Amino acid sequence: MATRRKYTSKRKKQTLISPKSFKWILGLFLLLCTIVFVYQKKDVVLYYLGFKYKHATLTANQRKLEDKRINEIVANHEGKIFGIDVSQYQGTIDWENLEAIEEQFEIKFVVVRATAGSKKVDRNFKKNWKNLSSTVYIQGAYHYYRPDENSTDQAKNFIKNVKLRKGHLPPILDIEKMPKGQSMDKLKEGLQNWLTIVEKQYGVKPIIYTGEKYFEDFLRDDFPDYLFWIANYNPWKEKIEDDYLMWQFTEKAKLHGVNELVDVNVFNGNVEDLKEVCIK
| One pLDDT digit (tens) per residue for the chain, 280 residues | 444 554 444 444 455 567 777 677 777 777 776 675 544 444 444 433 333 344 468 999 999 999 999 999 999 999 999 999 999 999 999 999 999 998 899 999 999 999 999 999 999 999 999 999 999 999 999 999 999 999 999 999 999 999 999 999 999 999 999 999 899 999 999 999 999 999 999 999 999 999 999 999 999 999 999 999 999 999 999 999 999 999 999 999 999 999 999 999 999 999 999 999 999 9
The CATH architecture to which 58-277 belongs is Alpha-Beta Barrel (3.20)
Whether the pTM exceeds 0.85: the reply is: no
Position 134 scores a pLDDT of 96
Position 37 scores a pLDDT of 55
Q: Which of 94, 102, 106, 176 is flagged as catalytic?
A: 176
Active site residue 176: yes
Active site residue 103: no
Give the model confidence (pLDDT) of 167-212 as tens digits: 999 999 999 999 998 999 999 999 999 999 999 999 999 999 999 9
Q: How far apart are CA 271 and CA 253, in angstroms?
A: 22
CA 270 to chain CA centroid, Å, is 20
Q: Compute the half-sphere exposure of residue 48: CA atoms within 13 Å on the CB side of its CA.
A: 14
Contact 261, 241 (CB under 8 A): no
Q: How far apart are CA 138 and CA 159, in angstroms?
A: 20
Residue ranges of the domains in the chain? 20-51, 58-277
Q: Which of 85, 122, 212, 263 is flagged as catalytic?
A: 85
Contact 208, 226 (CB under 8 A): yes
Position 39 scores a pLDDT of 47
Position 22 scores a pLDDT of 67
SS3 73: helix
